[in-house]
């Protein structure tokens, strides 16, 4: 019997899936991350606790997990789901932004860790809850804050604040939207826009029917990234990982779109955010990270059938090296 209480929301979702969220590439994450079964691991995006539950099961009884999430609601769910592990002192939960990883670890008195997991983006529950405003498929307030207790701004407030030019820039940079200027003009003129349905309606009027869904996905992605400053916080946690993951420890990152994946790939390959190769005296690439996944791991077709939200996932794993002097692939 597992030490951790498992949720069996649906048999097809695997032992760690729950009605809240089905963890993606769960086995690959656990196998790729754990090098020291009695070690200390951080799940910096604990969400519904699926990956954390699998990690706790795979670790030795002395092994422990620190779970972080920006969303207080996720922590309430995990507190219930993984109550046994919390009571046993194997799981500690912290509400916060993983960009502040070092400050959060300092508060817990943890100088270094054996592994860090980042499962980026939003959970299925956040997406399905119309009141959070993440989805163009359900009507709700245009909010999109991962931490609804934060002062904001919400997506609706940003739309009020930005010029058409600034909005076009956001749609172009964070959504890679080819019609950024046209859409920005239309959205700007239609303001105030307070709900997901109002925004979706403006976009629908501007693009051919066959392109509506993809365009909406890009527009909503762009706004969500802006509201939560997602690319900057990713960069901050990657740099923190270099300082806090012990040599021999691992970093596993699941990303769901190319803007994230490109940054992760570059960082794990070169050890810096600029993607600048650093070479030693002999011209060999040096980096504090040794990528263990030459190509990103993708979910199998079977996993995508069971969990369609896994379809865009890419998992990259790297090992922290003590002396950054080796041939990097």
Ligand X SMILES: C[S@@+](CC[C@H](N)C(=O)[O-])C[C@H]1O[C@@H](n2cnc3c(N)ncnc32)[C@H](O)[C@@H]1O
Binding region for ligand X (CB under 6 A): 21, 23, 44-45, 47-51, 68-71, 74, 97-99, 119, 121-123, 146, 233
C-beta closer to ligand X: residue 74 or 183: 74
Rounded distance between C-alpha atoms, residue 141 and residue 17, angstroms: 28
| Matching residue, tokens 């809240």 | 20
Of residues 205, 221, 210, the one with CA closest to residue 136: 221
C-beta closer to ligand X: residue 187 or 254: 254
| Angular region, 271: left φ>0, alpha ψ -120 to 50, beta rest | left
Nearest distance from C-beta of residue 249 to ligand X, angstroms = 19
C-beta closer to ligand X: residue 47 or 115: 47
Rounded distance between C-alpha atoms, residue 328 and residue 47, angstroms: 33
Task: Give residue number: closest CB to ligand X.
Answer: 47
Nearest distance from C-beta of residue 179 to ligand X, angstroms = 28
C-beta closer to ligand X: residue 51 or 64: 51
Nearest distance from C-beta of residue 230 to ligand X, angstroms = 7
C-beta closer to ligand X: residue 122 or 183: 122
Nearest distance from C-beta of residue 59 to ligand X, angstroms = 16
User: In angstroms, what CA-CA distances link 217 with 136, 137, 156, 166, 226?
Assistant: 8, 10, 17, 19, 14
Q: Cβ–Cβ contacts within 10 Å for residue 232, how many? A: 11
Nearest distance from C-beta of residue 231 to ligand X, angstroms = 11
**Neighbouring residues of 178: CB distance < 8 A, sequence distance ≥ 6:** none
């Amino acid at each position: 019997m597992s030490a951790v209480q498992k949720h069996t929301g649906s048999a097809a979702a695997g032992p760690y899936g729950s009605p809240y969220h089905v963890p993606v590439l769960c086995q690959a994450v656990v196998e790729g991350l754990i090098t020291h079964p009695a070690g200390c691991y951080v799940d910096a995006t604990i969400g519904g606790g699926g990956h954390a539950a699998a990690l706790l099961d795979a670790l030795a009884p002395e092994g422990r997990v620190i779970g972080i999430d920006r969303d207080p609601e996720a922590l309430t769910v995990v507190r219930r789901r993984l109550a046994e592990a919390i009571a046993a002192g194997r799981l500690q939960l912290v509400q916060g932004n993983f960009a502040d990883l070092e400050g959060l670890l300092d508060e817990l008195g943890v100088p270094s860790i054996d592994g860090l997991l980042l499962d980026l983006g939003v959970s299925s529950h956040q997406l399905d809850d119309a009141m959070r405003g993440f989805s163009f498929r359900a009507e709700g307030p245009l909010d999109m804050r991962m931490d609804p207790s934060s002062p904001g701004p919400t997506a609706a407030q940003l739309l009020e604040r930005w010029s058409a030019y600034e909005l076009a820039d956001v749609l172009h940079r964070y959504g890679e939207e080819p019609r950024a200027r046209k859409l920005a003009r239309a959205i700007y003129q239609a303001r105030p826009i307070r709900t997901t349905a109002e925004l979706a309606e403006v976009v629908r009027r501007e693009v051919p029917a066959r392109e509506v869904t993809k365009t909406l996905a890009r527009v909503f992605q762009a706004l969500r990234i802006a509201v939560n400053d997602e690319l900057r916080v990713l960069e901050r946690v990657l740099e923190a990982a270099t300082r806090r993951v012990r040599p021999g420890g691992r970093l596993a990152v699941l990303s769901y779109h190319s803007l994230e994946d490109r940054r992760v790939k570059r960082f794990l390959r070169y050890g810096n955010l600029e993607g600048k190769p650093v070479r030693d005296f002999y011209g060999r690439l040096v980096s504090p990270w040794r990528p263990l996944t030459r190509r990103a791991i993708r979910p199998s077709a079977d996993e995508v059938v069971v969990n369609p939200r896994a379809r865009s996932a890419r998992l990259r794993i790297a090992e922290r090296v003590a002396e950054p002097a080796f041939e990097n692939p």
